[in-house]
Amino acid sequence: MESRAATTGGTLAATVQLTYDERKKSRARGRDENGAELAWFLERGTVLADGDVLRCVDGALIGVRAAAEPLSVARCDDALLLTRAAYHLGNRHVPLQIAVGELRYQPDHVLDAMLEALGLSVTRATLPFAPESGAYGRQGHAHHDHQEQHEH
C-alpha cells in the first residue's frame, strides 16, 4: 500500500475508520466502510493520521479517518495549570492531544486522579484522537510506497 497525504488527488473508493492504536500499527488488517477487507504493511514507525490516503495495489484510493474512541478530557482555563498538567503527562510518555483549554488522552483512572488533584476538571468523551507526534515523530505526512492487499 502506498501512503499519501490527502492532497494526492483522485476519488476515494472507500474510507476506513481506525482508532489511534489501530493507526499506529504498521502491519494490520481492517474493513472499509463497505465491509471489504483491507490489509496493509507500512514502514515501521508510520502512524496514519486522519485524512491520510492509502493507495491499493490496484490503484484504488482508501481514505483514513480517525474513529471516535473513549478519551479522558482534562479542562482548565488557567494556561499555567494546563501546561503543568501537560508536563506531567508528557513525563509519563502519554500520547496527548492538546487543544485550547484542554488535554485529551486515552482513559486511565490514575492519570485522571492526578490531574484532578492538580485542579483540572476531567470528564470522559467519545471523540477522534489525534495526539501530538512528539519532537522526534514525523511532522506532516510521510510519502512512502508500500504493498497492500485489497479484496473486493
Q: What is the CATH number of domain 68-128?
A: 3.30.70.790
For the chain, give every domain's residue range. Answer: 2-66, 68-128
Quote the pLDDT of residue 5: 43
Q: 35: which 3 cell numbers?
A: 465491509
Quote the pLDDT of residue 10: 83
The pLDDT of residue 6 is above 70: no
Grade residue 8 by pLDDT with cuts at 50, 70 and 90.
low
Q: What is the CATH number of domain 2-66?
A: 2.60.260.20
> Residue 140: in which H helix or E strand, if any?
none
Q: How far is CA 146 from the centre of its chain?
A: 20
Quote the pLDDT of residue 144: 40
What are the tens digits of pLDDT across the range 81-137?
Answer: 999 999 999 999 999 999 999 999 999 999 999 999 999 999 999 999 999 987 666
For strand 148-150 and strand 97-99, is the pairing parallel, antiparallel, or unpaired?
A: unpaired
Terminus-to-terminus CA distance in the chain, angstroms?
15
